[in-house]
Structure 1
Amino acid sequence: MNKSLRMILGVVLFGAVVAGGFAWHPWAATAKPKTGGKPPPLVGITAARTLDLPVRFAAQGHIVPLNQVDVRPQVTGVIRTVNFREGDEVKPGQLLFELDASDVVAQLHRAEAQANQIRAQLDDATRDLNRTLQLVKSGFMSSAVVDTARSKAESLQAQFKAAQADVDSSRVRVGYTRIFAPIAGKTGAVVVHPGSLAQVGDAAPLVSIVQFDPIAVEFTLPERDLAAVRDAHAAGDTRVGIDLDGATRSGELSFIDNRVNAGNGTIGLKASFANADRHLWPGAYVRVALSAGTTRNAVVLPPQAVLEGPDGNFVFQVDADKRVVSQPVTLLRIQDHNAVVDGLRSGETVVVEGARNLRSGMTVAVDAAADNTADSGARQ
């Protein structure tokens, strides 16, 4: 093939390639897949609403006696009699124990004898003083003798008062040999028996007496609930219930501690309950429900709308341009499937579903099937 023919073939092939390129370009442009940005995240929204919400708190508590006494001996002595059985119900003033009184009775007799001896000496000194006064008036003695007689009588008078105090103390100690119940209640285990030595300062009491009716329940609440409980209690608007064996018992809030526990941020409370049937037993644990009035116009959200971050609780608000903004809120409590919050106004729109991967400033798409704003507004 000569040089001219090769040039002609080259030009033809080049033209075919160029023509093919122009023909393929429009098709390629139409066939190229779209590579636009990711679609905005899909979220469900709701509107904050207001309710008149009864204030109710739940806690775990344990039953404690309102009154308990550990009976201990005031004098050392051998137990002569135990006048009750452990577990008995006793009344105030009921005789519980008698101790051997031989030693303290002997001390009483000795103190009485000493007092009587000093009393006789005092009577004799008083008569001498009176005679001396008469002799001084008659001029048979000097006045200096009167001073001596008076000093002796006054000294014996002081000794007699001290001896009389010893007698009274000994009588008290004799009384301590008979031990009576100081309160009404149920007795616990008896740790001594007739013949046992009861000593002052023993670690274990002779017996413990626990008052059963009325009885109390101790429980704690977080510090943030203190204001609501305190205000309702001052207004006489608190009620306490406990769940016992499937039945509810009602009582009265009787005590709010005078300080918050700085270690765990809780406040201690106590409620009293009638317990004539003795079903409430000291030491047992119960569930406690405390009603503390009503919160008017409480702002509430579904609990899942409230998120927790490094700086506390927050929600994502949605503006008119479908952008989300982080809004800090204070979670007051969760009650009746509602999160009671502070920091929002009624009607403000927040994300309730799909909020976990959001960031403030992002644009979102609202899932119409999960849009609860209309229902929330209807329930206000």
Structure 2
Amino acid sequence: MKIRTRVFVVAAGAVAAVLAVAAAVTLGKAADKPAAAKPPPLVSTAPAVVRDLPIQFDAQGHLVPLQQVDVRPQATGTIRAIHFKEGEEVKAGQLMFTLDASDVAAQLSKARAAAAQVQAQLDEAQRDLARSRQLARDNFYSASVVDAAEGKVESLRAQLDAMHADIDGSRVLVDRTRVVAPMAGLTGALSVHPGSLAQQGATTPLVNVVQMDPIGVEFTLPEAELPTLLSARATGAVTVALTAPDGSTVEGRLVFINNSVDTATGTIGLKAAFPNTRRLLWPGSFAKLRVTAGVDHGALTLAPQSVLEGPDGRFVYVLDGAGARVAVKPVKLLRIQDQLAVVAGLAGGERVVTEGQQGLKDGMAVRLAK
């Protein structure tokens, strides 16, 4: 029994040794065999195209009235009547409010009565002066009497001029009890009602009036676009288009460029005017704009995803003449427009890598996707 056990152990050890030798031989052969080469990366390309491209900038802004006036009373008084409804359009010069004019009307009557009294005194003094001159020629009056009569006439004339000035001032106060629209536009909410006291110099206006047609849009653009914008404006080539709430496009014009750049945001403030005959555009609303500043002749365009960002700036991968390797070409991104990247730094016509840039290096061999 012991002899059989020993034979079995020896046999098992021999088999293990044979298997180990076979494995070593197999590994040695595998090590001697060269590894399969990794294929070049697969990329897609598109040509760099030179074309005439309109210079366009997309912006966002808010609608604002080009003219807006706060209607305030120029005299203190009780509101007697309101001659319009809030929220309706008024014309320039249209009567809007009537104030109680009892006190100023009384002042005007008093000034007129005082002027009439002085006028009567002046008439009497002029008759006295005429008689004095006649009697002085007949040697009945001395020259001093004539001088005194002339002085009285001049004094009454000055008083009459003062009375006429009082009448004019009272008439102005009476006119101010009639508040008229300073311009044509749409009225806002009323802050007073009949019977309310309208005070001169109050902080809250009676109502405000805004111009609706044309209407303006305030927006900003990056300061880098300012030279292009100014150059196009000098030739009258700047147009602005707005998307109305109903989806239609409204064409407008640029009417204002601010005189300084906002240093906090690096933007320049602008304003455009648009026709608003249908009243679709409302002050305070959000607006999407597209500014066209002439045409960029010979613009070099690429697919936006082909422009990459590196430590030294933006660059693209360009195929060499044989189309088997890529080379790094630095470019300057001018703008993104209509799903195209407008760049500088290429001649045009180069095959630029648009997909598969991950892992690429300068001079690396590539395969082109069909």
**Range into which the TM-score falls when normalised by the shorter chain:** 0.7 to 0.9
Q: Secondary structure at the match of 1:365?
A: coil
After superposing the two structures, state which structure 1 stretch, 204-213 or 153-162, moved more. Answer: 153-162
More off after superposition, 272-281 vs 313-322:
313-322
TM superposition shift of 1:318: 6.1
Deviation (angstroms), 1:167:
0.6
- 8 Å contact from structure 1 (residues 238, 252) kept in 2: no
Q: Could you tell me how far 1:357 is from its partner in structure 2?
A: 7.8
Q: CA deviation at 1:334?
A: 0.5
User: Aligned residue for 1:12?
Assistant: none
- Decide whether the 8 Å contact of 1:95 with 1:181 is kept in 2: yes
The aligned residue for residue 295 of structure 1 is: 296
Q: Which moved more, 1:61-70 or 1:345-354?
A: 345-354
Contact 1:79 1:197 in 2 (8 A): yes
Other-structure match for 1:285: 286
Residue 338 of structure 2: aligned partner: 336
Alignment partner, residue 66 of structure 1: 66
CA distance in 1, matches of 2:118, 2:153: 11
Change (3 A) 1:133 1:53: same
Distance 1:336 1:369, change over 3 A: same
Which residue type is aligned with residue 265 of structure 1?
G
**Structure 1 vs Structure 2: percent identity of aligned residues?**
51
Find the aligned partners of 1:343 and 1:143 in 2 and give their Cα distance: 103
Aligned to 2:214: 214
Residue 302 of structure 1 aligns with an amino acid whose one-letter code is: A
Following superposition, the deviation at residue 226 of structure 1 comes to 2.9
> Would you say the 8 A contact 2:87–2:186 is kept in 1?
yes
The 5-angstrom pairing of residues 265-284 of structure 1 reads 265-284=266-285
Letter in 2 for 1:282: P
Change (3 A) 1:128 1:314: farther
Task: Flag the 1:188–1:246 CA change in 2: closer, same or farther, 3 A.
Answer: closer
Structure 1 residues 164 and 300: alpha-carbon distance in aligned structure 2, compared to 1, 3 A threshold: same
Verify the 8 A CA contact 1:44 1:367 in the aligned structure 2: no
Alignment of 1:185-224 (within 5 A): 185-224=185-224
In structure 2, C-alpha distance between the alignment counterparts of 1:209 and 1:98, rounded to whole Å: 17
Give the SS at the match of 1:173.
helix
Structure 1 SS opposite 2:137: helix
SS in 1 for 2:368: helix
Aligned to 2:113: 113
1:73 Cα deviation after fit: 0.8
Change (3 A) 1:117 1:44: same
TM-score between the two structures when normalised by the length of structure 1: 0.74
Greater shift in the superposed pair: 107-116 or 242-251: 242-251
Cα distance in 1 for residues equivalent to 2:254 and 2:150: 63
List per-residue Cα deviations over 1:39-94 (Å, max 9, x = no partner). 99998776643211122221112122233222111110011112222222222333
Q: Secondary structure in 1 aligned to 2:167?
A: helix
**C-alpha distance 278-170 of structure 1, shift in aligned 2 (>3 A):** same
2:52 partner amino acid: D
The Cα offsets for residues 277-333 of structure 1, whole Å up to 9 and x where unpaired, read as: 32221111121122333211012233234455688x53257697979667462x331
Calculate the TM-score normalised by the size of structure 2. 0.76
Cα offset, 1:180, TM superposition = 2.0
Are 2:137 and 1:137 equivalent residues in the alignment? yes
The worse-fitting range, judged by mean Cα deviation, of 204-213 and 115-124 is 115-124
Gaps in structure 1 of 5+ consecutive residues? 1-26, 372-380
SS at match of 2:73: coil
Runs of 5+ consecutive residues of structure 2 not aligned to the other structure: 1-27
- Match of 2:249, SS state, is strand
Cα distance change on mapping 1:282 and 1:133 into 2, 3 Å: same
- Residues 249 and 132 (structure 1), Cα distance of their counterparts in 2 relative to 1, 3 Å cut: farther
Q: How many residues align?
A: 338
CA RMSD of aligned residues (A): 3.6
Distance 1:351 1:147 in 2: 109
Do the aligned residues in 2 keep the contact of 1:65 with 1:215 (CA within 8 Å)?
A: yes
1-structure distance, mates of 2:308, 2:270: 30
| Residue 241 of structure 2: aligned partner | 241
